Amino acid sequence: MSRDTFLSLIMRRVLKERTMGEGNNSKNMPEKYHPHPLVLMMVDVTTQESVCNACIQPISPPYYRCSAQSECNFLLHKFCADLPLVISDSFYQSEFMASLASPIWDEHIFSHFRCKFCHMYCNGFGYSYSERISIVACLECALAPKVIRHDSHRQHPLILIGYCPFEASISCCGNEHRFSLYVYNCSVCDYNIDIHCAFLPKTVTHKFDEHPLTLVFASSSQHHSDSTECFCEFCEEDIDPMYWFYHCAECDQSFHVDCIPSLGKFSKIKFGTGTVKHPSHNDHPLSLVRMLSIGNQICGICHYIIEGFEDGMALHCADCDFWIHFLCGDRFPEVQVTHPYMNFSFLPT
């Protein structure tokens, strides 16, 4: 099952339980999401790289696209366009309501935010739990079910709890933020998996292997634990068999979860979205690019190397091949951002 289908099934089921009513959806018109007219499409896209600006998942029909294709690549699942403006929140026992919002916080380039619950960077839509920027959840986390059954722990249901206890262990990954993650917990076995890993697909494709890769849980990876050859084919570093990873049995190849672009640390960032007019390069606007398939470049601000062929972000001018480290560009407060849905707020009036 593809990742976008997997998430859509979860979202559709949960929305019935957590929305504030059918009348809320009827006021949520797709025209509010973008400054240009949107066209409803019922045919498949031609490139696999096309992703929805809301959920940052591969686009599939029915979906909306921007009528001004030469100006931006705004795409929006019809399902995402129909998301409720306000949902009740189970994390706080319904004491708070969460409001749908676009990434309008302009202190960062391309208005990205960090999800409060999974700690992933995102420039898609999110639900705001407060007027403060720090309490924002990506769509996947905001619509996560309260109770799940997971293949890694079939004997008991897992319940979503806020902030994993300091003394608890995380069975899925060695996340450095594990003591502040929201986790699915089994109270019987003291088993915990973080909210991001809970929705990893069972199988995923990767351009470095011709076969679908299968998710291997720690409990089923004993056959790798005695091997000294268990390393990631992408980064060539060791894989700890105590944590989850992806494996191809036919090729005997393994990959860290984070080394698969569609699941890794920038998997909730849509690249090529919007442009930046930067004071260090007034001639042309810059766009956001991923460095996975691009070699080393020289930053036009600090003049140090921008590392290529790794999972990082950079700013690029296609007209004159000018490059900037993402962090170098993000330090300039006077940067002018032109975003496909900048300055559009989805908070209900």
CB 126 within 8 A of CB 113: yes
pLDDT, position 284: 83
User: Where in the chain do CATH 3.30.60 domains reside?
Assistant: 275-338
Angle value at C-alpha 349, between 7 and 65, nearest 5 degrees: 45
By C-alpha distance, which of 182, 197, 181 is closest to 91? 182
pLDDT, position 295: 94
User: What confidence tens digit (pLDDT) does each residue in 284-343 have?
Assistant: 888 889 998 899 999 998 899 999 988 889 999 988 999 999 888 776 544 554 444 333
CATH topology classification for 275-338: Wheat Germ Agglutinin (Isolectin 2); domain 1 (3.30.60)
Question: Does the pLDDT value for residue 57 go beyond 80?
Answer: yes
User: What confidence tens digit (pLDDT) does each residue in 151-174 have?
Assistant: 999 999 999 887 666 667 788 887
Question: Does the pLDDT value for residue 262 go beyond 90?
Answer: no
Helix (H, G, I), strand (E, B) or coil at 151: coil
Helices (H), 90-170: 139-142
